[in-house]
Amino acid sequence: MGKVKIKKSDVWIDMTPMSDVMTLLLTFFMLTSTFVKSEPVKVNTPGSVSDMKVPENGVLTILVSPQKGANGKPTGEGQVFMSYDNTKELGDIVDMMTTLTPAQKRTFTAEATFGVPLDKLPTFLSKSAAVRNKELPTMGIPLDSIKGQEMTEFQKWINAARQVNPKVRLAIKSDADTPYGTIKKVMSELQDMDESHYYMITQLDTKKAVQAANQEVK
Protein backbone atom coordinates (compact mmCIF):
# COMPACT_ATOMS: atom_id res chain seq x y z
CA MET A 1 0.00 0.00 0.00
CA GLY A 2 1.43 3.31 -0.98
CA LYS A 3 2.11 6.10 1.53
CA VAL A 4 -0.33 8.95 1.74
CA LYS A 5 1.44 12.20 1.18
CA ILE A 6 0.14 15.16 3.16
CA LYS A 7 0.28 18.32 1.23
CA LYS A 8 2.32 20.91 3.08
CA SER A 9 1.10 24.47 3.14
CA ASP A 10 2.85 27.61 4.31
CA VAL A 11 1.50 29.23 7.45
CA TRP A 12 1.13 32.98 7.11
CA ILE A 13 0.39 35.16 10.11
CA ASP A 14 -0.64 38.74 9.70
CA MET A 15 1.63 40.75 12.05
CA THR A 16 0.03 44.10 11.26
CA PRO A 17 -2.19 44.23 14.39
CA MET A 18 0.78 43.36 16.64
CA SER A 19 2.87 46.07 14.99
CA ASP A 20 0.11 48.57 15.63
CA VAL A 21 -0.06 47.58 19.30
CA MET A 22 3.72 47.86 19.72
CA THR A 23 3.69 51.31 18.10
CA LEU A 24 0.92 52.47 20.43
CA LEU A 25 2.75 51.14 23.49
CA LEU A 26 6.01 52.79 22.42
CA THR A 27 4.24 56.10 21.85
CA PHE A 28 2.53 55.84 25.24
CA PHE A 29 5.78 55.27 27.13
CA MET A 30 7.54 58.07 25.24
CA LEU A 31 4.79 60.56 26.12
CA THR A 32 4.38 59.55 29.76
CA SER A 33 8.01 58.93 30.71
CA THR A 34 10.28 61.59 32.19
CA PHE A 35 14.00 61.81 31.62
CA VAL A 36 16.06 61.42 34.77
CA LYS A 37 18.85 63.96 34.99
CA SER A 38 22.25 62.93 36.21
CA GLU A 39 22.56 64.00 39.84
CA PRO A 40 26.08 65.01 40.94
CA VAL A 41 24.90 64.85 44.56
CA LYS A 42 23.88 61.35 45.62
CA VAL A 43 21.72 60.92 48.71
CA ASN A 44 21.02 57.45 50.12
CA THR A 45 17.84 57.84 52.15
CA PRO A 46 17.32 55.88 55.39
CA GLY A 47 14.77 53.07 55.67
CA SER A 48 11.25 53.65 56.97
CA VAL A 49 8.03 51.72 57.60
CA SER A 50 5.96 54.44 55.92
CA ASP A 51 5.05 54.16 52.23
CA MET A 52 3.31 57.54 51.82
CA LYS A 53 4.11 58.97 48.41
CA VAL A 54 5.47 62.47 47.85
CA PRO A 55 3.63 64.50 45.15
CA GLU A 56 5.33 64.36 41.76
CA ASN A 57 4.92 68.04 40.84
CA GLY A 58 5.49 71.37 42.57
CA VAL A 59 7.96 70.00 45.13
CA LEU A 60 11.09 71.84 46.24
CA THR A 61 13.37 69.08 47.51
CA ILE A 62 16.00 69.88 50.12
CA LEU A 63 18.87 67.42 49.87
CA VAL A 64 21.23 67.01 52.82
CA SER A 65 24.26 64.81 52.20
CA PRO A 66 27.11 63.82 54.50
CA GLN A 67 30.41 65.62 54.06
CA LYS A 68 32.80 62.80 53.22
CA GLY A 69 36.55 62.69 53.33
CA ALA A 70 39.02 60.86 51.12
CA ASN A 71 38.19 57.54 52.79
CA GLY A 72 34.49 57.96 52.04
CA LYS A 73 33.48 58.34 55.68
CA PRO A 74 31.55 61.33 57.09
CA THR A 75 33.84 64.03 58.43
CA GLY A 76 31.37 66.57 59.79
CA GLU A 77 28.20 68.44 58.89
CA GLY A 78 26.38 67.62 55.71
CA GLN A 79 25.87 70.07 52.89
CA VAL A 80 22.50 71.37 51.74
CA PHE A 81 21.36 71.34 48.13
CA MET A 82 18.01 71.82 46.41
CA SER A 83 16.15 70.63 43.35
CA TYR A 84 12.89 71.77 41.76
CA ASP A 85 10.86 70.08 39.05
CA ASN A 86 9.41 73.18 37.37
CA THR A 87 12.00 74.76 35.05
CA LYS A 88 9.95 77.91 34.35
CA GLU A 89 9.37 78.64 38.02
CA LEU A 90 12.99 77.78 38.84
CA GLY A 91 14.08 80.52 36.42
CA ASP A 92 11.79 83.00 38.19
CA ILE A 93 13.19 81.90 41.56
CA VAL A 94 16.81 82.46 40.60
CA ASP A 95 15.90 85.87 39.14
CA MET A 96 14.75 86.88 42.62
CA MET A 97 18.00 85.68 44.15
CA THR A 98 20.71 87.07 41.87
CA THR A 99 21.49 88.46 38.43
CA LEU A 100 22.67 85.99 35.79
CA THR A 101 23.41 86.23 32.10
CA PRO A 102 20.96 84.44 29.76
CA ALA A 103 23.51 81.66 29.22
CA GLN A 104 24.10 81.24 32.96
CA LYS A 105 20.37 81.14 33.60
CA ARG A 106 19.87 78.42 30.98
CA THR A 107 22.61 76.38 32.61
CA PHE A 108 21.08 76.87 36.05
CA THR A 109 17.57 75.75 35.04
CA ALA A 110 18.98 72.73 33.20
CA GLU A 111 20.80 71.43 36.28
CA ALA A 112 19.24 68.58 38.28
CA THR A 113 20.52 69.97 41.59
CA PHE A 114 21.70 73.39 42.75
CA GLY A 115 23.53 74.42 45.88
CA VAL A 116 26.21 77.06 45.48
CA PRO A 117 26.71 80.20 47.62
CA LEU A 118 25.21 83.19 45.82
CA ASP A 119 28.51 85.06 45.56
CA LYS A 120 30.03 82.12 43.67
CA LEU A 121 27.01 81.15 41.56
CA PRO A 122 27.69 83.22 38.37
CA THR A 123 31.30 82.04 38.15
CA PHE A 124 30.26 78.45 38.86
CA LEU A 125 27.66 78.45 36.07
CA SER A 126 30.23 79.70 33.56
CA LYS A 127 32.36 76.57 34.02
CA SER A 128 32.06 73.36 32.02
CA ALA A 129 29.60 70.63 33.01
CA ALA A 130 32.43 68.29 34.04
CA VAL A 131 33.92 70.89 36.37
CA ARG A 132 30.51 71.79 37.83
CA ASN A 133 29.71 68.14 38.58
CA LYS A 134 33.05 67.79 40.34
CA GLU A 135 32.84 71.00 42.38
CA LEU A 136 29.14 70.99 43.36
CA PRO A 137 29.37 68.20 45.99
CA THR A 138 32.03 70.23 47.83
CA MET A 139 29.84 73.34 48.11
CA GLY A 140 26.28 73.66 49.43
CA ILE A 141 23.79 76.38 50.36
CA PRO A 142 24.96 78.25 53.49
CA LEU A 143 22.83 77.85 56.62
CA ASP A 144 24.74 80.44 58.60
CA SER A 145 23.19 83.84 59.13
CA ILE A 146 24.73 86.82 57.38
CA LYS A 147 25.55 89.88 59.42
CA GLY A 148 23.02 92.63 58.81
CA GLN A 149 20.52 90.32 57.07
CA GLU A 150 17.43 88.77 58.60
CA MET A 151 17.46 85.56 56.56
CA THR A 152 20.13 83.03 55.67
CA GLU A 153 20.74 82.10 52.04
CA PHE A 154 18.87 78.86 52.65
CA GLN A 155 15.83 80.76 53.90
CA LYS A 156 16.06 83.16 50.97
CA TRP A 157 15.76 80.29 48.49
CA ILE A 158 12.74 78.95 50.36
CA ASN A 159 11.18 82.40 50.51
CA ALA A 160 11.76 83.00 46.78
CA ALA A 161 10.19 79.65 45.90
CA ARG A 162 7.20 80.46 48.10
CA GLN A 163 6.74 83.85 46.40
CA VAL A 164 6.94 82.37 42.91
CA ASN A 165 4.59 79.50 43.81
CA PRO A 166 2.63 79.94 47.07
CA LYS A 167 1.50 76.32 46.81
CA VAL A 168 5.01 74.89 46.53
CA ARG A 169 5.55 71.80 48.68
CA LEU A 170 8.75 71.18 50.63
CA ALA A 171 10.48 67.84 51.05
CA ILE A 172 13.64 66.97 52.99
CA LYS A 173 15.79 64.18 51.58
CA SER A 174 18.74 63.38 53.81
CA ASP A 175 21.43 60.76 53.59
CA ALA A 176 21.38 57.84 56.01
CA ASP A 177 24.81 58.98 57.30
CA THR A 178 23.96 62.68 57.59
CA PRO A 179 24.71 63.99 61.11
CA TYR A 180 21.52 64.69 63.06
CA GLY A 181 22.77 68.18 63.90
CA THR A 182 22.54 69.21 60.25
CA ILE A 183 18.99 67.89 59.87
CA LYS A 184 18.00 69.66 63.06
CA LYS A 185 19.50 72.91 61.78
CA VAL A 186 17.56 72.65 58.51
CA MET A 187 14.34 72.04 60.42
CA SER A 188 15.06 74.99 62.72
CA GLU A 189 15.60 77.23 59.69
CA LEU A 190 12.21 76.17 58.32
CA GLN A 191 10.55 76.59 61.70
CA ASP A 192 11.87 80.16 61.96
CA MET A 193 10.03 80.84 58.70
CA ASP A 194 6.81 79.22 59.97
CA GLU A 195 7.33 76.40 57.48
CA SER A 196 6.13 73.49 59.58
CA HIS A 197 4.64 71.30 56.84
CA TYR A 198 7.11 69.29 54.78
CA TYR A 199 7.74 65.72 53.66
CA MET A 200 10.58 63.52 54.90
CA ILE A 201 11.72 61.33 52.01
CA THR A 202 12.76 57.79 52.95
CA GLN A 203 12.84 54.40 51.28
CA LEU A 204 10.49 51.67 52.38
CA ASP A 205 12.18 49.05 54.53
CA THR A 206 10.08 45.98 53.77
CA LYS A 207 11.41 43.98 56.73
CA LYS A 208 10.63 46.75 59.22
CA ALA A 209 7.23 47.35 57.64
CA VAL A 210 6.29 43.66 58.07
CA GLN A 211 7.48 43.69 61.69
CA ALA A 212 5.45 46.82 62.41
CA ALA A 213 2.36 45.29 60.81
CA ASN A 214 2.75 42.13 62.89
CA GLN A 215 3.03 44.17 66.09
CA GLU A 216 -0.18 46.04 65.21
CA VAL A 217 -1.99 42.74 64.71
CA LYS A 218 -0.86 41.49 68.11
Whether 47 contacts 203, CB under 8 Å: yes
- How confident is the model over 164-179, as a mean pLDDT? 86
Out of 38-47, 85-94, 171-180, give the one with best mean pLDDT: 85-94
Q: Which 3-state string (H, E, C) describes the chain?
A: CCCCCCCCCCCCCCCHHHHHHHHHHHHHHHHHCCCCCCCCCCCCCCEECCCCCCCCCCEEEEEEEEEECCCCCEEEEEEEEEEECCHHHHHHHHHHHCCCCHHHHHHHHHCCCECCCHHHHHHHHCCCHHHHHHHHHHCCCCCCCCCCCCCCHHHHHHHHHHHHCCCCEEEEEECCCCCHHHHHHHHHHHHHCCCCCCEECCEECHHHHHHHHHHHHC
| Beta strands 59-68; 169-174: pairing state | parallel
pLDDT tens-digit series, residues 182-205: 888 889 999 999 988 888 776 655
Q: What are the structural domain ranges in the chain? A: 47-217
pLDDT tens-digit series, residues 12-25: 677 677 777 788 88
